[in-house]
């Protein structure tokens, strides 16, 4: 049975939205059906999300970009987060994730769902962790029901995709803790589940009771973003046994979920040096049957606080070239603080640059055509044409402002080489 026949909510979305989606992507509907059937594409969209525009993820569909938003205990202002939603939308993000861990999480999520017509993702274990900490209970005291109930609530609310660390096994957690990693487990959800498993000497409930999870999310077509709880948090930790053990589990879970009518993406690393990106991405894609790969970075060096969006974009571009389908942004605030509005904008732009660079290297038609239009405009000193093709037209206009009436720009002025040779005739 093909997946949409086994998932009524997905089938309805395809019936009403597929022709618009395929037109936007420049793909034939058959190509999308093939991708969905093979599990190499997903359509994000929970019918309970008001005013939602569903989205295809999975190459050769356009590579998408996500912006992480949300409160933290040290920075907890709903209005600021809503400003960041607006900034992310204006900068051209394709999805947002609400990673809030402070304040009224249900109300924040509701607001974001109402304000954002793009797919919204969450990490439900954060809400469970907050409620445990608020009631001064140890994370190890969590009841499996609390986690499943939270997931069910968020599905009803309209969340479109959720990060769930189902592939993080007790053995994987022990491997990561035994292996003297430089930075141990850096995933928040992963570290909570690892603590729970080790303290209780029990298997991860999301893994042990995977069928329960599938039954909860399927009626809402909530896509599982199978989390990388053991991703390397330092380049020196990339590619160890704990990381690969989890990747193998993720591949098996994604395959199983697909047979049960639930769509899955795979979350990827993490920190790794540039020379490992190609092998890691290709290896993950192979072990997960080419499921859509959603990566944070990869960050290709560790000593770049303030510039981690650049370190992530370098890894992201190489990642896209090797099969990454979905880039989670990093901002200049990564590893330091919550991003502000400007950081959000810079992060989305950096990821969009990475996506475009990767797609250009892959020879994707839309990327090649855009470059051709940009170069045509450059050759003609057509600044409006350049703004139309620029990743960030607003920045282009701002930079041109002081000399906007000049035909050339202030870089070379009268020495403009484009103009110098424009009218020359070769005999």
N-to-C CA span, the chain: 68
Cα separation of 219 and 261, whole Å? 10
- By CB under 6 A, residue 416 contacts ligand SF4: yes
Query: Which of 418, 421, 422, 424 is in the footprint of ligand SF4 by CB under 6 A?
Result: 418
The one-character DSSP state at 239 is: T
Query: Which of 72, 259, 337, 417 is in the footprint of ligand SF4 by CB under 6 A?
Result: 417
Sites for ligand SF4 among residues 215-234 (CB under 6 A): none
Across 153-222, the runs of DSSP E, i.e. the strands, are: 161-164
CA angle 60, 354, 323 (to 5 degrees): 35
Single out the segment in contact with ligand SF4 by CB under 6 A; choices: 157-165, 267-275, 362-370, 408-416.
408-416
Residue 327 structure tokens: 């880039």
In terms of CB distance, is 74 or 411 closer to ligand SF4? Answer: 411
Q: What is the 3-class SS of 22-44, one letter each residue?
A: HHHHCCCHHHHHHHHHHCCCEEE
Alpha-carbon dihedral sign for residues 214, 215, 216, 221: positive
The one-character DSSP state at 303 is: S
- Minimum distance of ligand SF4 from residue 412's CB (angstroms): 3
- By CB under 6 A, residue 408 contacts ligand SF4: yes
- Minimum distance of ligand SF4 from residue 411's CB (angstroms): 3
In terms of CB distance, is 140 or 418 closer to ligand SF4? Answer: 418
- By CB under 6 A, residue 387 contacts ligand SF4: no
In terms of CB distance, is 86 or 412 closer to ligand SF4? Answer: 412
In terms of CB distance, is 143 or 422 closer to ligand SF4? Answer: 422
Cα separation of 402 and 386, whole Å? 17
- Minimum distance of ligand SF4 from residue 408's CB (angstroms): 4
- Minimum distance of ligand SF4 from residue 378's CB (angstroms): 7
- By CB under 6 A, residue 374 contacts ligand SF4: no
Q: Is 208 helix (H, G, I), strand (E, B) or coil?
A: helix
Query: Which of 86, 336, 368, 412 is in the footprint of ligand SF4 by CB under 6 A?
Result: 412
CA–CA distances in Å: residue 71 to residues 75, 225, 338 = 6, 21, 8
Single out the segment in contact with ligand SF4 by CB under 6 A; choices: 71-79, 92-100, 110-118, 413-421.
413-421
The one-character DSSP state at 229 is: T
In terms of CB distance, is 301 or 396 closer to ligand SF4? Answer: 396
Query: Which of 411, 421, 424, 426 is in the footprint of ligand SF4 by CB under 6 A?
Result: 411
- Minimum distance of ligand SF4 from residue 353's CB (angstroms): 19
In terms of CB distance, is 286 or 399 closer to ligand SF4? Answer: 399
- The full DSSP string for 328-394 is E---TTTTTS---HHHHHHHHHHHHHHHHHHHHHTT-HHHHHHHHHHHHHHHTT-HHHHHHHSS-HH
Please answer whether residues 123 and 189 qualify as being in contact, where contact means their C-beta atoms are separated by less than 8 angstroms: yes
- Minimum distance of ligand SF4 from residue 392's CB (angstroms): 17
- Minimum distance of ligand SF4 from residue 357's CB (angstroms): 21
In terms of CB distance, is 145 or 407 closer to ligand SF4? Answer: 407
Residue 103 structure tokens: 């304040």
The footprint of ligand SF4 on this chain (CB under 6 A) covers a number of residues equal to 8
- Binding residues vs ligand SF4 (CB under 6 A): 381, 408-409, 411-412, 416-418
């Amino acid at each position: 049975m093909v997946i949409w026949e086994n998932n009524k909510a997905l089938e309805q979305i395809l019936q009403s939205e597929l022709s618009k989606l395929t037109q936007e992507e420049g793909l034939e509907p058959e190509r999308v059906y093939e991708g969905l059937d093979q599990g190499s594409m997903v359509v994000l969209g929970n019918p309970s999300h008001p005013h939602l525009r569903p989205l295809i993820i999975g190459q050769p569909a356009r590579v998408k970009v996500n912006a992480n938003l949300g409160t933290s205990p040290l920075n907890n202002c709903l209005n600021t987060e809503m400003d960041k939603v607006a900034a992310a939308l204006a900068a051209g993000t394709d999805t947002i994730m609400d990673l809030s861990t402070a304040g009224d999480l249900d109300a924040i999520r509701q607001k974001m769902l109402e304000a954002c017509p793009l797919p919204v993702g969450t990490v439900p274990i954060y809400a469970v962790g907050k409620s445990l900490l608020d009631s001064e209970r140890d994370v190890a005291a969590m009841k499996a029901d609390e986690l499943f109930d939270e997931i069910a609530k968020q599905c009803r609310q309209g969340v479109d995709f959720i990060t769930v660390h189902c592939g993080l096994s007790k053995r994987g957690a022990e491997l990561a803790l035994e292996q003297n990693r430089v930075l141990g487990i850096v995933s928040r959800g992963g570290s909570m589940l690892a603590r729970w498993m080790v303290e209780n000497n029990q298997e991860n409930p999301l893994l042990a009771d995977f069928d329960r999870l599938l039954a909860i999310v399927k009626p809402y077509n909530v896509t599982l973003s199978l989390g990388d709880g053991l991703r390397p948090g330092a380049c020196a930790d990339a590619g160890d046994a704990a990381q690969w053990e989890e990747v193998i589990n993720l591949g098996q879970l994604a395959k199983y979920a697909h047979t049960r009518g639930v769509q899955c993406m795979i979350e990827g690393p993490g920190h790794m040096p540039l020379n490992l990106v190609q092998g890691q991405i290709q290896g993950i894609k192979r072990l997960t049957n080419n499921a859509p790969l959603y990566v944070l970075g990869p960050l290709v060096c560790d000593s770049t606080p303030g510039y981690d969006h650049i370190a992530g974009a370098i890894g992201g571009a190489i990642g896209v070239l090797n099969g990454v389908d979905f880039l989670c942004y990093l901002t200049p605030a990564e590893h330091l603080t919550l991003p502000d509005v400007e950081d959000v904008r810079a992060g989305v732009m950096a990821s969009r640059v990475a996506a475009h660079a990767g797609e250009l290297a892959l020879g994707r038609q839309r990327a090649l055509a855009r470059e051709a239009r940009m170069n045509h405009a450059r050759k003609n000193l057509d600044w409006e044409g350049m703004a139309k093709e620029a990743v960030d037209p607003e920045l282009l206009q701002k930079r041109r402002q002081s000399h906007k009436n000049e035909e050339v720009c202030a870089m070379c002025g009268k020495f403009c080489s484009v103009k110098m040779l424009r009218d020359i005739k070769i005999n």
